[in-house]
Copies of this chain bind each other. A is one copy, B any other.
Amino acid sequence: MEKKVTMADIARLSGVGKSTVSRYFNGGYVKEETRKRIQKVIEDYDYEPNTFARLNAKESNVIGVVVPTLNSKITGRVITSIDRYLRERGYTTIIKSSDHDVSLELQNLKRLARLNVDGIILSALSVTSEQEAAVKEAGIPVVVLAQNYPSGICVLDDDYGAGYAMGTYIGKRKFQKVGYVGISQRDEAVGIVRKKGVMEGVAAEGIHQVYIALGDYSFESGYEAAKELLDKEKKLEAIICATDRMAFGVYKYLGEMGLRIPEDVSVSGFGGYDESELLNPALTTLKFDSYRVGALGAETLLKIISGEKVSTKQMVGFEFIEGGSVRKTE
């Protein structure tokens, strides 16, 4: 292993002081000629400063990202987008997973604060008071993603708008009997806001009675919900599912019952994962823009850091994906 070359080495080799090399990297004044000399040496040695040695720098140029899991398509998109945005602007991003554990999430928050990061992007499991306290105590800018965060800055999916769009889409088909497979209210975005959008959307089209079943995001729960709904009301014409995965479960149940989609029952979802198009018929669904959520979150954080004013609550749009799972009105 070769000796690691440090800033002091670069300084010595270029015949300048360390402070000058430091200024070279941090945009301070360096005479053009000196700059050239330093640059040459840096290239020769393929040198880059050690980001983590900036112990007493005003800005660390490090941003912390806390996510609930490393294992979801959404998280994958969000952190890809954050990482890219930040990298292109010279920031180092440190990703910490809470692994679905609230206490680990709290620990991650505290640890990042201690590492002197310039800011934190938090994709929260849920908003807890302890967490709010930690954020406050950290004294560094925090942007919360995909979760309403009244006491701070957040970037959200437009769940209400999406729900409303799907509600009116289904409503316009003039179905008499509609079912909805929802999610517990503990998930505010999906369980409350999205549902509200759907309900008000169908209502706007004159449908006032919706049969409701509750699922838990899983394939199986969609299957069970479909069974429950069709048991309660044999003549259901359409089932709106709060997530694609549950819609897949509904597909399975309808298939087993010999009911055709969309001739007998129409089905729709929310999510817009690539799988939706694999189904037969392709699922009519709605895709949230997770990449945009990540990028906007990062952009917002950098603005806060540089002292710009930002909105406390920003909404990111969605895209309607029309498949073949909803019957057209003849």
Contacts and interface: CB of A to CB of B under 8 A. Distances in A.
Interface in A273-309: 274-275, 277-280
Interface in A59-111: 69-73, 75-77, 79-80, 83-84, 87, 94-95, 97, 99, 110-111
A69 B73 contact: no
A71 B291 CA distance: 11
A83 to B, nearest CB: 6
A138 B4 CA distance: 9
Contacts of A114: 4, 48, 50
A248 interface: yes
A70 B76 CA distance: 5
Contacts of A80: 69-71, 97, 99
A25 interface: no
A51 interface: yes
A257 interface: no
A70 B53 contact: no
Given A1-B137, A55-B55, A252-B278, 19 more contacts: A1-B138, A2-B137, A2-B139, A4-B114, A51-B111, A52-B115, A70-B80, A70-B83, A71-B80, A72-B76, A73-B76, A94-B94, A219-B274, A219-B277, A219-B278, A252-B280, A275-B275, A275-B278, A279-B279
A243 interface: no
A83 B79 CA distance: 15
Contact of A278 (B50, B87, B99, B279): B279
Interface class of chain A by DSSP:
helix
Interface string A28-56: 00000000000000000010101111010
Interface band, chain A: 35 or more
A191 to B, nearest CB: 23
Interface of A: 1-2, 4, 46, 48, 50-53, 55, 69-73, 75-77, 79-80, 83-84, 87, 94-95, 97, 99, 110-111, 114-116, 137-140, 219, 248, 251-252, 255, 274-275, 277-280
A72 B139 CA distance: 34
A79 B95 CA distance: 11
A99 B77 contact: no
Contacts of A279: 278-279
Nearest to A75: B76
Given A69-B80, A280-B255, A111 B275 contact: no
Given A94-B94, A137-B2, A116 B50 contact: yes
A73 B75 CA distance: 11
Per CB-CB distance, the 8 closest pairs between chain A and chain B, nearest first, are A1-B139, A52-B52, A71-B76, A71-B80, A70-B80, A275-B275, A248-B278, A70-B79
